[in-house]
Amino acid sequence: MILLLTSCINPGGMPFTAISNPQERERQYVKALNFYISHTTYPIVFTENSGTDISHLFEEHIRSGRLECLTFCGNNNKDQGKGYGECEIIQYALDHSQLIRSCKHPRIAKITGRLIVRNLSTIVRMHSCIFSKRTILCAVNSDLSFPDSRFFIAPIEFLRLFLMHKEGINDNKGRFFEHVLGETIKAQTSFPFSPFLTMPQIEGCSGSTGTVYNASPQTLSFMLTYAKYALWQRKKFKKLYRP
């Protein structure tokens, strides 16, 4: 599996962006990247779309082949918003990453690059024992209409399918990344889908709203209740969209 950390250090006036200071955003990206380097063993593709290169901070890990830092001057289509820009980052990574290209059938864990998923390794190990490598894994709301795009795991082939629909994303018209992601998951039949059976412990700050996420410890009772709820969601999804 490969971690794809999407990033935009200098949003340059992008609408719906609460955290816009480039220095603060860079600090958050560096903190998150250091976490994934130190607390996981997965290859990491850090992809940034405002032309801000932080590779000099991670030269040792880049030389070792553990980390790839890509940057390009994107983020220009502000009329369609942050979600569209996120798709451009994913597209750039799929098209230019040597780490991704070197894997025959990679699974990608897409993570918003300023956020830390504290229990990432636990989630990957647990779900790898239960589901096939072709499974799309993503938290979703109760009526299955709005997946959590901050962190999800999917085969690269699904990401390419999803990106074919990116022109349908327009934040200014209320058509967000999450809407198109959810519609793509439901419409396709090549890849099974399941919500995460354990809640991702996400730490950081929302770039859109400024909301602070705190990764609090989970009791055994909470984990069992959450797993039961996620299995109910999975059953509901299969009944509605996989007759």
Question: Which pLDDT tens digits describe the chain residue by residue (243 residues)?
Answer: 999 999 999 887 665 566 778 899 999 999 999 999 999 999 999 999 999 999 999 999 999 999 999 999 987 777 788 889 999 999 999 999 999 999 877 899 999 999 999 999 999 999 999 999 999 999 999 999 999 999 999 999 999 999 999 999 998 888 999 999 999 999 999 999 999 999 999 999 877 677 888 888 889 999 999 999 999 999 999 999 987
Predicted pLDDT of residue 199: 95
Taking only Cα atoms into account, the Rg of the chain, rounded to an integer number of angstroms, comes to: 17
Select from 48, 46, 65, 57 the least CA-distant residue to 4: 46
Can you give the pLDDT at residue 241? 93
* CATH class of the region 2-241: alpha beta
pLDDT score for 206: 79
Q: How far is residue 135's CA from residue 192's CA, in Å, rounded to a whole number?
A: 5
> Which tokens in the block code for residue 116?
């830390």
Q: What is the pLDDT of residue 18?
A: 64
Give the pLDDT score at 19.
72
